[in-house]
């Protein structure tokens, strides 16, 4: 099966292989996986995709996650080629480093970065060393991945974003039905931020330095007077153009109150305005 294969047919074959889990895989299974991997690399299938009928604007594709997990089952540990270092590296044979050419128009600055195959990297993406992009992720055109940043497995990052130094964008490969982390277009993630557990950051939002977002921590919107929370069946969603910073709230009972303790909480302090635009516009000079 090649990348030109009918996607519903590929989905059916992946679902079957996931359930069968044989001890050895026949040649046709390897062909299925090769076609699947090619489509992932080209961005023609994704672990999650836009769906305006959903409350978050996104839907997960569990079968794509299953295909990635099949790859881990099928592969054996082998020495990794082309790691760009005199050291030796060992990984699953089914997920080597992604190959690029100059025609891909992706800047990978020397210094120890790694991008696993099975992810889509758009034109004009800049990768500052060292950074890492895992399998199943999607990075849109013109995005910058800064030094020491991580794009986790199946994370979906939009176009013209800036993932600043030492920021962590979690993925969510398992469970297969869980929505991965979504970073929509034109989002600025400040340095040392962390976005985890299926959080959705909507278009043109800004996360200030050191902001942590996950399912367990509510986000207090002091502009609109609401509290954004993840629910049992839905992720945390940061609104369009929200500017989020790290804050704190007092513990109001028990020993925490007696001791004058407070808890970390992210706070939406404003929505993008002309001052915000002036600050983020400087990034274009680096591209």
Say whether both 229 and 266 belong to one domain: yes
pLDDT digits (tens, 9 = 90+) for 32-50: 999 999 999 999 999 999 9
Alpha carbon distance 62, 96 (integer Å):
23
Asked whether residue 27 is domain-assigned, the answer is yes
| Cβ contacts of 13-21, under 8 Å, gap ≥ 24 | 14/63, 14/64, 14/66, 14/67, 14/70, 15/63, 15/66, 17/70, 18/63, 18/66, 18/67, 18/69, 18/70, 21/73
Confidence check: pLDDT of 7 > 70 = yes
Instruction: Kindly indicate the confidence band of residue 233, based on its pLDDT and cuts at 50, 70 and 90.
Output: confident
Whether residue 156 sits in one domain with residue 193: yes
* pLDDT tens, residue by residue, 130-152: 999 999 999 999 999 999 999 99
67 and 57 in contact (C-beta within 8 Å)? no
Q: At 19, which CATH number?
A: 1.10.166.10
286 part of a folded domain: no
- Residue 132: per-residue pLDDT: 98
Q: Look at strands 132-133 and 138-139 and give their pairing.
A: unpaired
Q: Please give the pLDDT value at position 280.
A: 66
Q: What is the domain extent for residue 117? A: 91-281
45 domain-assigned: yes
**In terms of domains, do 154 and 264 share one?**
yes
- Please give the residue that has the higher pLDDT: either 172 or 1: 172
Given this model, what pLDDT does residue 286 score? 57
pLDDT at position 6: 65
Residues 243 and 269 in one domain: yes
- Please report whether residue 79 resides in a domain: no
In this model, does residue 60 exceed pLDDT 60?
yes
Model pLDDT, residue 22: 87
Task: Check whether residue 235 and residue 142 sit in a common domain.
Answer: yes
Q: What confidence score (pLDDT) does residue 246 get?
A: 98
Tens digit of each residue's pLDDT (9 = 90 or more) over 96-114: 999 999 999 999 999 989 9
pLDDT band at 285 (very low <50, low <70, confident <90, very high): low
Question: Between residues 175 and 276, which one has the greater pLDDT?
Answer: 175
At 216, which CATH number?
2.160.10.10
Q: What value does the mean pLDDT take over residues 110-124?
A: 96
Does residue 79 register a pLDDT over 90? no
Q: Is 21 a member of any domain?
A: yes
Residues 227 and 168 in one domain: yes
The full DSSP string for the chain is --TTS-HHHHHHHHHHHHHH--SS--HHHHHHHHHHHHHHHHTSS-SEEE-TTSTTSEEE-HHHHHHHHHHHHH--EEEPS--SSSS--EEETTS-BPP--GGG--EE-SSS-EEBSS-EE-TT-EEPSS-EE-TT-EE-TT-EE-TT-EE-TT-EE-TT-EE-TT-EE----SSTTS---EE-TT-EE-TT-EE-TT-EE-TT-EE-TT-EE-TTS-EEETTTTEEE--BTTB--EEPTTEEEEEEEEE--SHHHHHTT-EEEEEEEEEE--HHHHHHHGGGGGG-
162 & 51 share domain: no
> Total domain count for the chain?
2
Residue 3: predicted pLDDT: 39
Which domain-ending residue is among 26, 42, 74? 74
> For the residues 273-278, what does the mean pLDDT come to?
74
Lookup result for tokens 């340095």 = 191
| 80 occurs within a structural domain | no
The dihedral through the CA atoms of 58, 64, 66, 69 has a sign that is negative
Q: Is residue 287 part of a domain?
A: no
Q: What is the pLDDT of residues 158-217, one digit of tens each?
A: 999 999 999 999 999 999 999 999 999 999 999 999 999 989 999 999 999 999 999 999
């Amino acid at each position: 099966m090649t990348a030109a294969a009918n996607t519903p047919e590929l989905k059916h074959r992946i679902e079957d292989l996931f359930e069968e889990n044989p001890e050895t895989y026949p040649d046709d299974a390897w062909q299925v996986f090769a076609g699947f991997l090619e489509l992932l690399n080209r961005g023609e299938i994704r672990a999650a995709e836009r769906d305006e009928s959903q409350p978050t604007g996104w839907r997960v594709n569990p079968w794509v996650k299953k295909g990635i997990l099949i790859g881990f089952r099928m592969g054996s540990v082998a020495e990794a080629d082309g790691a760009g270092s005199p050291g030796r590296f060992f990984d699953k044979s089914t997920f080597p480093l992604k190959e690029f050419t100059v025609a891909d128009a992706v800047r990978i600055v020397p210094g120890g970065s790694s991008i696993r195959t099975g992810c889509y990297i758009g034109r004009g993406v800049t990768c500052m060393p060292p950074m890492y992009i895992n399998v199943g992720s999607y990075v849109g055109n013109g995005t910058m991945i800064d030094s020491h940043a991580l794009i986790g497995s199946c994370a979906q990052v939009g176009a013209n974003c800036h993932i600043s130094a030492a920021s962590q964008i979690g993925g969510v490969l398992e469970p297969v039905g869980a929505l991965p982390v979504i970073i929509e277009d034109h989002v600025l993630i400040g340095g040392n931020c962390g976005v985890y557990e299926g959080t959705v950051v909507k278009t043109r939002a800004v996360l200030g330095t050191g902001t942590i977002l996950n399912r367990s921590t509510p986000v207090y919107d002091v502009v609109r007077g609401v509290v954004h929370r993840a629910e049992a069946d839905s992720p945390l969603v940061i609104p369009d153009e929200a500017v989020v910073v790290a804050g704190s709230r007092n513990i109001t009972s028990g020993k925490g109150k007696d001791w004058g303790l407070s808890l970390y909480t992210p706070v939406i302090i404003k929505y993008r305005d002309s001052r915000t635009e002036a600050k983020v516009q400087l990034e274009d000079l680096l591209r």
